[in-house]
Each structure stands twice: as C-alpha cells, then as structure tokens.
C-alpha cells in the first residue's frame, strides 16, 4: 500500500517511533544544556568571605550578593592592609546593615549619605547662624530697654519733658 506521498504504510509506521525517540533525545539535550551553565554559575559564585573581600577590593563596591553570615565573616577575616588602605570594611559593613534592616544601602552600589533635605548644607548653616544672630540682637535690645527703666519711658523719651531734646519754646 502506498500513502498520498508515495510512501508505503509500513514505512510510516516505522517513522513514528523514530520521531518520538528523536524528540525525547532533543528534549534531554535541551535540559542538560540548560542545567550545565546554571551549575557552573552556582559553583563559580560560591558565597565565601574571601570572595566578598576580593570583590570589594577589586570594584570598591560589592557586585554580587553575599549572605549575612558571609559578610560578618568577611569583616572578621579582612586583612589589616585591606582594612587600612581601602574602604572595604565600610562597604561591607553598610551592606551588612542594609541586609539586616538597620541601614540604608543597596547591593552593588555604595550607599550615598543624604539627609533627605532639598536645601544644601551650607545654606542651612547660614540660615541657622542668621537665626542665632537675630535672637542674640533681640535679647540685647530687650536688656537695653530694661536697663533704661520705666521712668525714661514715662517721660516720653529724649524729646519729652525732662528729655535732652530742644527746649519747648525754641
């Protein structure tokens, strides 16, 4: 018997199991090829304190995510020269605080210190100094008025009766 394409039916029956086998082999190859890079990447980025220190020392920031225990161990194991001549101790400590919820930092980027104010710090200092000067001069003016006494105020000031102003008839 021949099919519509000129193939014999016995050949078509033999073709179906071969196609199933080929699809199964291709599916297995796809799974293996997808699993191998994941396994290699997991092995390459193991979470060790020395890798966290090397990452920070190379990039001046943490470019990968490290567990809290690894960051603690990195702070303990950090060599004295790295601690003294780089900012790795501060970078790792900020990341550790951020992961514990006690600070503001983010993985991979150094934390920028910001007060959350829109006004620049030098302008705030000038405003505070002006306010202090105003309070000081106000206190001095009040002290001067109190030193003059109530008798001077009742006489009407320098131009009033008894003041040092020009004579009344002149």
CA distance 18 to 123: 80
Q: What is the DSSP letter of 119?
A: S
pLDDT value of residue 47 = 83
Mean pLDDT of 65-86: 91
Mean pLDDT of 11-21: 67
- The gap between the terminal CA atoms of the chain, to the nearest Å, is 146
pLDDT value of residue 120 = 84
Q: pLDDT tens for residues 98-125? A: 998 865 544 444 444 444 567 788 888 9
Position 64 pLDDT exceeds 70: yes
Q: pLDDT tens for residues 129-146? A: 999 999 999 999 998 888
**According to DSSP H, which parts of the chain are helical?**
9-44, 49-59, 68-77, 80-85, 88-100, 121-148, 150-154
pLDDT value of residue 168 = 58
Closest to 66 in 3D by CA, of 56, 76, 80, 77: 56
1 CB contacts (<8 Å, ≥6 apart)? 8, 9
Would you call 4 helix, strand, or coil by DSSP?
A: coil
pLDDT value of residue 115 = 46
């Amino acid at each position: 018997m021949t099919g519509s394409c000129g193939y014999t039916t016995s050949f078509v029956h033999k073709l179906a199991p071969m196609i199933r086998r080929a699809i199964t082999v291709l599916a297995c190859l796809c799974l293996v090829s997808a699993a191998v890079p994941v396994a290699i990447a997991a092995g390459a980025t193991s979470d060790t304190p020395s890798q966290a220190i090397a990452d920070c020392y190379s990039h001046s920031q943490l470019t990968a995510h490290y567990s809290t225990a690894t960051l603690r161990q990195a702070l303990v194991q950090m060599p004295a020269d790295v601690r003294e001549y780089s900012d790795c101790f501060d970078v790792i400590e900020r990341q550790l605080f951020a992961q514990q919820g006690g600070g503001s930092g983010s993985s991979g980027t150094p934390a920028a210190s910001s007060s959350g104010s829109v006004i620049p710090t030098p302008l705030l200092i000038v405003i505070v100094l002006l306010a202090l000067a105003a309070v000081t001069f106000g206190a001095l003016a009040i002290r001067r008025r109190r030193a003059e006494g109530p008798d001077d105020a009742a006489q009407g000031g320098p131009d009033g009766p008894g003041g040092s102003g020009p004579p009344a008839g002149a």
